[in-house]
Structure 1
Amino acid sequence: MTDPTDTRRALRDAFGTFMTGVTVVTTTDGAGQPLGFTANSFASVSLDPPLLLVQIARNSANYVKFTTTAHFAVNILAEGQKDISSTFARPVADRFAGIDWQPGPEGSPILPGVAAWFDCTLFKVVDAGDHAILIGHVEGFHASTAPGLGYYRGTYFTPVATQATVPTGPDIIVSAILERGGQVLLVDDGFGGLTLPTARVGRDGTAAALAALTHQSGLTAAPGPLYSVYEDVARGQQHIAFRCPCTGGTPVKGAFVDLAPDSFAEVTDQALRVMLERLAEESRMGNYGIYFGNQDRGQVALVSGGTT
């Protein structure tokens, strides 16, 4: 078993920026034969326990096998592995032909030369419309020094080597939903309204920005589960919000308000206001989800009550 502290550190580093690169997700079938598909959409769900998620389309030929497997691995491709990405994205008879893969700690195929890999047991399958979300519990990992392969607006790129020539991606904005006793902390947004404690993600990554927000709040709080991911197209921003339960402390600024729609009338950002109204309803029902979409529309994938 991998040391939990090392696992949390690996997750923090891998998801330091939201654009996490191109991955190949793998597992084996009942006969031990390898299966895999390319995905460029995965994210951290939790650091304690260490959970991550990937998505698979319902019309994928691998849908049934991946949603019923006991384990899967996420292979983060290195900069020279565009051909592997293309192979696992196409309907090829044998995607593993010529690939000297090795089984990970849980038995899922680990591809050679990748920038990093996470081997997981299947924690939960969440219905998400025309996709399913596979949530994995990280049981083993490895990270190399190889630059990862990125994919942005239809083009492959190497985030490190080609940083100056790649089209600029969205700003990454993280929000801390600091909850305590049925209330949530709101602060002055600087424009005469209210907002959540929010910050841009810097070079140290999402986890560091979230930790700084909770520290600056004056509250004792732990990074909690991912709650919302949405793109603000007009502003060129990617927003990530985490629920962070508070266990003590006094707010340095702002104040706690009840988790009720009437409390959010002064939240000037419409997307944040709608998110908080959803949180109030889900808190009342005790059934939470993860929002994926943009500032106007998207879908909520249930976590509590999801299919296991």
Structure 2
Amino acid sequence: MTDLDPFTDLLDCPMYVVTAEADGERAGCLVGFASQCSIEPARFMVWLSRANRTYRVAERAERLAVHLLHRDQDRLARLFGGETGDRTDKFAGVPWHRGPGGSLILDEAPAWFVGRVENRVDGGDHVGFLLASEVAENIAGDRPPLLTLGDTHGITPGHPAD
């Protein structure tokens, strides 16, 4: 238990799948630490665990793609949250396409954006990637019920959290 648990245990934040590509390596993971952090200019911060393969690819990437999932997209959440790219090619059985700057876009995501990495911030066991949005898509067209932290409690992480 941490000092923040009494507060954070009440949160049910959206979950995201973050994808990265660098030097021919693809990676992606389920992320719960992320938020818009500026309106003008528009900026979004994504925090990746240092233990995660996606972090190791993202630290060399120029862009990251951030995807929202529908609440019922359990298969994608389990793949990107419960498998490690050290042993599994997460993109092998998932429809995806190249987006701006060679980014990796998951076709099944109802909404996504690609952000240019502007800065990296040491946050302890996680590193923050400050993203400047280059393009965003809302394929759903409305506000679908999104995958949240509460929907993912049954997923055993592919890597330890620390």
TM-score range, shorter chain: 0.7 to 0.9
| 1:40 matched to 2:38 | no
1:30-70 deviation per Cα after TM superposition (whole angstroms, max 9, x unaligned):
12x43111102210111111110111111222322212210
CA drift at 1:151 = 1.9
Secondary structure, in 3 states, of the residue corresponding to 2:44? Answer: strand
Contact kept? 1:74, 1:119, Cα under 8 Å = yes
Q: C-alpha root-mean-square deviation of aligned residues, in Å? A: 2.0
1:124-165 deviation per Cα after TM superposition (whole angstroms, max 9, x unaligned):
000111110011000000112343212228548xxxxxxxxx
Q: Which runs of 5+ in 1 are unaligned?
A: 1-17, 157-308
Q: Which residue number in structure 2 is paired with residue 29 of structure 1?
A: 22
Q: Which runs of 5+ in 2 are unaligned?
A: 1-10, 155-162
**Equivalent pairs, count:** 138
**Correspondence 1:116-155 to 2 at 5 A:** 116-143=111-138, 144=140, 145=142, 146-152=144-150, 155=153
Of 77, 81, 84, which aligns to 2:76? 84
Judging changes above 3 Å, is the alpha-carbon distance between structure 1 residues 119 and 79 closer, same or farther for their aligned structure 2 residues?
Answer: same
CA drift at 1:77 = 0.9
Q: What is the TM-score when the length of structure 1 is the normalising length?
A: 0.42
CA drift at 1:75 = 0.5
1:75-95 deviation per Cα after TM superposition (whole angstroms, max 9, x unaligned):
111122111111112224111
Judging changes above 3 Å, is the alpha-carbon distance between structure 1 residues 149 and 27 closer, same or farther for their aligned structure 2 residues?
Answer: same
| Cα distance in 2 for residues equivalent to 1:115 and 1:21 | 13
1:247-291 deviation per Cα after TM superposition (whole angstroms, max 9, x unaligned):
xxxxxxxxxxxxxxxxxxxxxxxxxxxxxxxxxxxxxxxxxxxxx
Judging changes above 3 Å, is the alpha-carbon distance between structure 1 residues 118 and 154 closer, same or farther for their aligned structure 2 residues?
Answer: closer
Of 36, 46, 58, which aligns to 1:54? 46
Contact kept? 2:69, 2:111, Cα under 8 Å = yes
CA drift at 1:20 = 4.6
Q: Name the structure, 1 or 2, with higher relative contact order (CA <8 Å, separation 6+).
A: 2
| Cα distance in 1 for residues equivalent to 2:153 and 2:23 | 36
Of 89, 93, 105, which aligns to 1:94? 89
| 1:63 matched to 2:55 | yes
Secondary structure, in 3 states, of the residue corresponding to 1:98? Answer: coil
Q: Which letter maps to 1:115?
A: P
Contact kept? 1:106, 1:139, Cα under 8 Å = no
| Cα distance in 2 for residues equivalent to 1:154 and 1:73 | 20
CA drift at 1:19 = 4.9
Contact kept? 2:46, 2:128, Cα under 8 Å = yes
Secondary structure, in 3 states, of the residue corresponding to 2:53? Answer: coil
1:222-260 deviation per Cα after TM superposition (whole angstroms, max 9, x unaligned):
xxxxxxxxxxxxxxxxxxxxxxxxxxxxxxxxxxxxxxx
Judging changes above 3 Å, is the alpha-carbon distance between structure 1 residues 80 and 94 closer, same or farther for their aligned structure 2 residues?
Answer: same
